[in-house]
Structure formats: structure tokens, C-alpha cells
Amino acid sequence: MERIAITANGPGEIAGWVRPLLTRLFEAQPALEVHLFLVPDDYATGREAQTVAGWFPQVHVYEGKATLRALLGAGGGVPAKMDFVQYLGGDLMHAARLARRSGAAAATYKFSRPAYRELFVRAFAIDLRNVEELAKARVHRDRIVLTGNLAIDGALMEAELPAPSTAPRDGILILPGSRRYEVEQGIPFFFTVAAAIKRVRSDVEIAFGISPFTPMEDVRQAIAGGGHPRVYAMPGRFMVEGGQAYLTDRAETVRFAVLRNALPAAKQARMVITMPGTKTIELAALGKAMLAVTPLNVAEMLAINGPLTYLNRLPVIGERLKRAVVVAAARRFTYFTQPNMDAGRALIAELRGTLTPGRVATVALERFDDRAWLEDSAQALRSLYVEHAGAARRMARGILECAA
């Protein structure tokens, strides 16, 4: 029986990459021994290990100090020998270190560096552009395998689950995100957006899709806190009635269901309002029209890649410097969502910058009522990733071949 190790990091990679791959690996070999190492990540929620254990109780999951001990070869219950190491997120050095320590062959997905030219026996590519990116990173061309985007399979699998009865049928589903900033600031912000929509269109059904990585207690605290003053949001209440969670204003004049099964609910909705991230790829696979919103109102709170993410911790000038860096970086990008980047045009409507809930509500309703845009966007998004379906099965087959 093969023993496979996987390194991964935040919620997007765990849900979009790890989950569909593990599903296909265990489908092919139910007795497979899998060890998942959660590596340090500024975007992690802290609930990744618990969530994976709920999905796949047979997987050995390591985080924090346990992962560090494994990388340093300090034991801690981690097997000394692995048959194969697969990179699925985080810094490449963690997968490289684990492979060298355990004497295992290794493969990467989407990313590589010249230093690992000989280490990775296979490099799974998302698309043709990624094939060329891997080749520029000096991966041997005969080791690059065009596999597809795992997130597409993840979306298609999850969407097959039953939609909750409180899904917003022909309405709007709001996905505020799972990162700490998105929960603390996004939930009150989008709650205020939803309330503004309801004031002018009481007939529109609205619900919130909350990530499985976000504890409901965090949702309760976020809505009660009302967000940073520059988010221009209003506080509300988290309540549970008949086993169903809701967000309400303090007078209970509006009420929005809180759902865990976001993608089955999205299939029922006419449109989705979301933060940019892996979910935009998953929703694109379902052919769902979207408005992607990136508020930069408190840009100094955003996590960004690299050491500059800690700029705001500097005394006196730190927050100003961090805000300037984030805003300057945002201006360099034509699009914030991966589907728009891949298509080279705006299939998803995007809003960014210092935003008010009223402005977002107005744009959302304009898009919601634009039937031509909804249909064109849905069709173009659905066709964008159709060839990626089956990526998880192709990758699982490749891993098992290499590990045998």
C-alpha cells in the first residue's frame, strides 16, 4: 500500500484542490495511506485540519508544530518514509524538504522554481499557459503533464449536493469569503449591501453562503461588531430559529439565511455577489453570473504575499505604508478574478476600491435586472473551463503511477 504525503495551505487550496484530489485517490485506492501537512499561510483560517478530518477521517493531518517537526525530521509520530510527496499549495520549499527528508519522489502542481528542476519527477499543469510557465521555471518538458484545474472538479462535485430549502431561488447569493479580514469586515459590509437591496426590492430573495472554514461564532461576532468605521456597515444580529441560522438587523426588519452548502445554493440563485478567490473559478464552472467586489476601504488590514504584509505592525507610519502598498499593487491589475484573467475580458462584473454598501447594492441590482448580461456571462463562464472537468481523476492516476 502506497504512503502519500501532500503539502497544502489555506482554505482555497484545501477546498478547491485537496478535496477533489483526495476524493479521486480514495475512489481509486480506498486503502491508500495519505498524510496531509498544512504549512504556514497568512490566509489560513485555523480550521483547515478540522474540516479535512470531517471530510476524510482516514487522512492523517498535521499542522503547526507537528508539520514543523515533520519537515525537520524530528519524528512526532510522522512516518520516516514516504512513497510520494505532492505539492498542493504554500511555499514549494516545504514539499521539497519533506521529499528529501523522507526519500520520496515528488511532484508539483502549477508552480515550480529552477532550484527544483531535478526534484520534481512530474509537474501537473492547469492549462497551456501554465505549461509554458513551468517550462520557464526549468521543469523538464517531458515531466510536465497538462491536467486541468482541480477546482473545477471540486465545484462540480459539491454542486451535486442537495440545495438547502432556504437557498435564494432566482435571487442573490452572497459569499463574503473565509479569510479573517473578509469575515470581520466583509460580513457586516455585505449584510449592509443586502439590506440596501431589500429596501428597494423586497421581492428579491437573498442568502449568505458561509465557508465551512468559518466558525459560526466568528459570524456572530463579525455581524455584532459592524466592521471598521471606514467599511460604512451597520451591525446586526446572528440568530438561529428552527435549526436555521440567519443574519438580521437589530429590529428584525430584514432577515437573511446563512448557508453552508454554497455551490448547491448558487445553482438556485440568479446571481452571486462574492469576493475574488477560488470561488469565482468554481462558480464559473457552474455557469453562474457574478459581481466580484474588492473593498479597499481598510486596505491596511488585507493579507498580501510576502513580508510586506506585516508593514501595518510598524509604529506610527505602518498602516499608511501598508495601505499605500496595497492600493498601488491593486492598480497594476486589470482584473482581480481568475476567470476574467483567463478569458482576457470581463465575463464577471468587478468593483474595487473604496466602496460603500449603497454603491454595491445599486450595481448589483443593475446586473440582476440585466437578463442579456446574465445569460451571456453564464454561457461564457460555463464554456471557459469545460475542458478541465476530470482533472482530479487524471491527477490521481498520475500520482498513483509515480508512487507505485
Q: Smallest Cα–Cα separation from 399: which of 25, 13, 8?
A: 25
Backbone angles phi, psi at 36, to 5 degrees: -105, 120
User: Do 168 and 121 have their domain in common?
Assistant: no
pLDDT, residue 76, reads 66
pTM of the model as a whole: 0.89
User: Do 224 and 362 have their domain in common?
Assistant: yes
User: Do 320 and 186 have their domain in common?
Assistant: yes
User: Do 45 and 109 have their domain in common?
Assistant: yes
**Residue-wise DSSP of 227-296:** --GGG-----EEEEETTEEEEE-TT-S-EEEEES-HHHHHHH-SEEEE-SSHHHHHHHHTT--EEEEEE-
User: Do 328 and 181 have their domain in common?
Assistant: yes
How many domains does the chain divide into? Answer: 2
In this structure, what CATH number is given to the domain that contains residue 50? 3.40.50.2000
User: Do 183 and 126 have their domain in common?
Assistant: no
User: Do 346 and 274 have their domain in common?
Assistant: yes
Residue 65 falls inside a structural domain: yes
Domain that holds residue 314: 163-384
pLDDT, residue 88, reads 97
Residue 206 falls inside a structural domain: yes
Cell numbers for 8, please give them: 497544502
Q: Smallest Cα–Cα separation from 191: which of 129, 262, 257, 126?
A: 257
The C-alpha atoms of residue 276 and residue 348 are separated, in whole angstroms, by 10
User: Do 242 and 332 have their domain in common?
Assistant: yes
pLDDT, residue 239, reads 97
Residue 68 falls inside a structural domain: yes
pLDDT, residue 328, reads 78
pLDDT, residue 262, reads 94
**Residue-wise DSSP of 79-141:** -S--SEEEE-SS-HHHHHHHHHHHT-EEEEES---GGGTTTEEEEEESSHHHHHHHHHTT--G
The C-alpha atoms of residue 225 and residue 254 are separated, in whole angstroms, by 18
Instruction: Calculate the CA dihedral of residues 242, 244, 249, 253 and round it to 10 degrees.
Output: -60
User: Do 90 and 217 have their domain in common?
Assistant: no
Residue 155 falls inside a structural domain: no
**Sheet order of strands, 206-209 included:** 237-241, 244-248, 255-259, 206-209, 172-175, 271-274, 290-295, 349-353
Question: Could you tell me the mean pLDDT of each successive run of 10 residues in the chain, 404 residues long?
Answer: 90 93 97 94 85 96 84 75 94 93 95 96 97 98 97 94 95 94 96 98 97 95 97 97 96 95 96 95 97 91 66 72 78 92 96 96 98 98 95 97 90
User: Do 268 and 236 have their domain in common?
Assistant: yes
Bridge partners of residue 312, in order along the sequence? none
Residue with cell 473551463: 385
User: Do 369 and 257 have their domain in common?
Assistant: yes
Residue 157 falls inside a structural domain: no
Residue 16 falls inside a structural domain: yes
User: Do 336 and 392 have their domain in common?
Assistant: no
Residue 158 falls inside a structural domain: no
pLDDT, residue 40, reads 83
Region class of 269: left (phi > 0), else alpha (psi between -120 and 50), else beta: beta
Q: Smallest Cα–Cα separation from 151: which of 4, 11, 279, 287?
A: 279
Instruction: Please name the amino acid found at residue 114.
Output: P
Q: At 325, is the secondary structure helix, strand, or coil?
A: helix
Contact between 104 and 85 under an 8 Å Cβ cutoff? The reply is yes
Residue 154 falls inside a structural domain: no
Q: Which helix (H) or strand (E) holds 301?
A: none
